[in-house]
Amino acid sequence: MSGTRTFTMLKPDSVESGNIGNIIQMITDAGFSIKAMKLTQLSVSQAQEFYAVHAERPFYGELVNYMTSGPIVAAILEKENAVTDFRTLIGSTDPAEAAEGTIRKKYAESKGRNAVHGSDSDENAEIECNFHFGVAELV
């Protein structure tokens, strides 16, 4: 059975460009409820750990630099089929390939600076929620 929680980050480009209000509106309009949310900034070691699965990829250094370049908004979202439905809402990694009406189509600048993160499986959603939030931070 599909899980009901996913994890998101509104990435540094979204905060910098003043789009976090619009993006949160899209998320709640799509039926997600916010279980936890904070403005924070990743350290280099946190970004390296979060994206460890990509450590061998050529863009890893650029990705870590970018994700630590400014504040992000981290959040836990709840909805039926949260992981799948949120991946649909955000659209393809590359905004040039993202469907109309998706967050990345509207707000992402490029494949690297792509506005928003969404967990790719229920297992990773749980790991990522726990990475950023403690039990006391959940409402």
Closest residue to Mg ion, based on beta-carbon distance: 120
Q: Which of 26, 47, 114, 125 binds ligand DAT (CB under 6 A)?
A: 114
Is 63 among the residues that bind ligand DAT (CB under 6 A)?
yes
For residue 25, give every residue at least 6 positions away whose Cβ sits within 8 Å of its Cβ, in sequence order, or none.
Answer: none
Q: Smallest distance, Å, CB 59 to ligand DAT?
A: 4
The residue from 11, 79, 113, 117 that is catalytic is 117
Residue 42's binding partner among Mg ion, ligand DAT, none (Cβ under 5 to 8 angstroms by kind) is none
How, if at all, do strands 33-40 and 116-118 pair?
unpaired
For 47, phi then psi, to 5°, come to -65, -40
Is 111 among the residues that bind ligand DAT (CB under 6 A)?
yes
Q: Which two tokens stand for residue 62?
A: 């650029």
Residue 132 annotated to the active site:
no
For residue 85, give every residue at least 6 positions away whose Cβ sits within 8 Å of its Cβ, in sequence order, or none.
Answer: 30, 31, 32, 79
How far, in whole angstroms, is CA 22 from its chain's centroid? 15
Q: Which residues bind ligand DAT (CB under 6 A)?
A: 54, 59, 63, 93, 111-112, 114, 117, 120
Catalytic residue numbers read 117
